[in-house]
Amino acid sequence: MPGSKMQHISSLASLCSSGQLPAPTLFGGNILSVSSQLVSNYSSYVPEAYNYNHPAVSVENVDFCNVTVTYTHPGHDDQIHVEAWLPLEWNDRLQAVGGGGMVAGRFALSYIFMAGAIGQGYATVSTDAGVSTDPSGYGTWAYLSPGNVDLHAMQNFASVALNDEAIIAKSVIESFYGRPPKYSYWSGCSQGGRQGLMLAQRYPTAYNGIVASAPAINIPSFTPSLYWPQLVMNLLGKYPRNCEISTIADAAIAACDENDGVVDGLIADPDACDFDPFSMVGKIFNCSDTGAVMQISEAAATVANATWTGPISPDGKQLWYGMEKGTLIAGTDGVASGIASTECSSNGTCTGQTSNSGAGWLLSTVLKDASFDLTNLTLVQYSWLMHISAVEWKSLWSTDEPDLTAYRNAGGKILSYHGLADPNIPPKATRHYHEAVSSVIPEVNDFFRVFEVPGLQHCSGGNGGQPTTIFDQMRAWVENGTVPETLPISFTDIPLAIASRSVLAKQEAISRLMGSSPCDKS
């Protein structure tokens, strides 16, 4: 290594260790502290299954400065942490990473993304938005007291802290390296995808390029829609075993698999799949849950059909999109991994899924009453709650503003993918949003492109392979004008069963796989 380069790296290491990095300036914010810690010879392996938007990365002996900026918005009694990892050998670019579930960042997934980023030479950053980094902690941070929402915490989470993060990260980078980043990028999936679109819509100069995959665009609409199959079962008074629902779902794949000319266990075009679940009623099958021979019931067909159709109001109005055929809509016995899952006791009695995320949103955010009994909810009441959820929370949570003129004019680029077998967020919403943008900006594909991936589950998993080059394609689009016409798919031999489970279960598995963060959190 040339002497001048070694000296530069040595001076960066000394600056990090000295704790003398200046505090950034943030309008509307008060910097409480800036801490820095030199991390030497950090090594890790980041598999593509958990490195959404990126390939697998072998991180080998990277030296980086961990900088944590703690700040508050005076008058709001909040405390937010922005954590940046600054490699001593830098590629002149910033890669901000998104969160997941109802976590803004600085949790297990974020640290995996950040490890992959520094392994490729990026300065990288994550924010906790001042709220819990526990995936199950939403019910605690979102409320000041029972029934009383902490609107400022929600605003930080939804948008404000995201722009703060970009400003702070760029300032810290310039202070550390002596120059600002040449390009600044965002990479996220699910909640991270929503965050990316929020940045494009409200803060168009924050990032030159954004990858917003499987974005949680319309949280107030799609989240309560996830309760729909459970409501249907409650109204029927019947709770089919998971094996019944799964058998119907598998039959749909078998019926429509070869529509694209290739038999590969995937439905490439769910819209063209005209499989009728009621054609399965009365058919005999072997239940994987119990090992017993069973007969498909009409109730099971009704529930599967409702899951694919999506919620319908009493007057027949479509309230939101359903899941696509080919999606995991019910798990195996004891693993309620689909929104149409049931839970059965040893005596054969089955009930609805108690951990349904749609139920959680209805109770915590719409009704604001965790003790409310949803099992007695009527169709009229459910339709009203869907309406209220959208009306009350749209401006705060939703990222469906179609006018991206400012971001387009700033030269920004957006890439997104959405798996057609996503069991958590209906992919039609992403398609609908892209179409909405095109109605405002007909040349939408000049700066914003969406790819649909058959067989891909939520961010990763499933049988359809993983889009591991989308971030690099976005960067090439921004820096070289190389337009991404196709989205290559990579297949991995790493088990991806976790991808169909909850964010909490996924984080637990990731923590076991990767270990803890290399840095202590503030």
User: Is 422 an annotated catalytic residue?
Assistant: yes
> Is pLDDT at 336 greater than 80 in this prediction?
no
Whole-model pTM? 0.92
Q: Distance between alpha carbon 129 and the CA centroid of its chain, in Å? A: 16
Identify the active-site residue in 175, 187, 190, 416.
Answer: 190
> Is pLDDT at 428 greater than 50 in this prediction?
yes
Quote the percentage of the chain above a pLDDT of 90: 79
> Is pLDDT at 324 greater than 60 in this prediction?
yes
Give the per-residue pLDDT at 237.
Answer: 97
Give the per-residue pLDDT at 511.
Answer: 38
Would you give the end-to-end CA distance of the chain in angstroms? Answer: 35
User: Is 78 an annotated catalytic residue?
Assistant: no
Length of the chain: 522
> Is pLDDT at 383 greater than 90 in this prediction?
yes
Tell me the CA distances in angstroms from 67 to 85, 186, 493, 517, one per residue in order. 6, 19, 35, 14
Phi, psi at residue 330, to the nearest 5°? -150, 140
List, in order, residues 6 or more apart from 375 with CB less than 8 Å away: 234, 352
Mean pLDDT across 245-267: 93
Mean residue pLDDT across the chain: 91
Which of 408, 401, 456 is closest to 433 using CA atoms? 401
Identify the active-site residue in 78, 128, 164, 422.
Answer: 422
Give the H or E element holding residue 380.
helix 379-397
d(CA 225, CA 339): 10
pLDDT tens digits, 168-190? 999 999 999 999 999 999 999 99
Mean pLDDT across 434-447: 98
CB atoms under 10 Å from CB of 262, counted, come to 10
Give the per-residue pLDDT at 497.
Answer: 34
Residue found under tokens 């990858």: 211
pLDDT tens digits, 12-37? 989 999 888 999 999 999 999 999 99
Burial annotation 407-429 (CB, 10 A radius, 16+ → b, else e):
bbeeebbbbbbbbbbbbbbbbbb
pLDDT tens digits, 467-522? 999 999 999 999 999 999 999 988 764 433 333 333 334 334 333 333 334 444 33
From 98-102, 422-426, 471-475, 504-508, the region with the lowest mean pLDDT: 504-508
pLDDT tens digits, 52-76? 999 999 999 999 999 999 999 999 9
> Is pLDDT at 4 greater than 90 in this prediction?
no
CATH of domain 3-218+397-514: 3.40.50.1820
pLDDT tens digits, 132-162? 999 888 878 888 888 888 999 999 999 999 9
Domain ranges of the chain: 3-218+397-514, 222-394
Residue 333 pLDDT class (50, 70, 90 cuts): low
Instruction: Provide the total of helices (H) and of strands (E) in the chain, helices listed first.
Output: 16, 15
Give the per-residue pLDDT at 3.
Answer: 65
Identify the active-site residue in 78, 187, 458, 460.
Answer: 458
> Tokens standing for 267?
């439905």
d(CA 438, CA 141): 37
Give the per-residue pLDDT at 1.
Answer: 54
Quote the percentage of the chain above a pLDDT of 70: 93
SS3 132: coil
pLDDT tens digits, 456-466? 999 999 888 89
User: Is 458 an annotated catalytic residue?
Assistant: yes
Q: Which amino acid is at 208?
A: N
> Tokens standing for 247?
């058998």
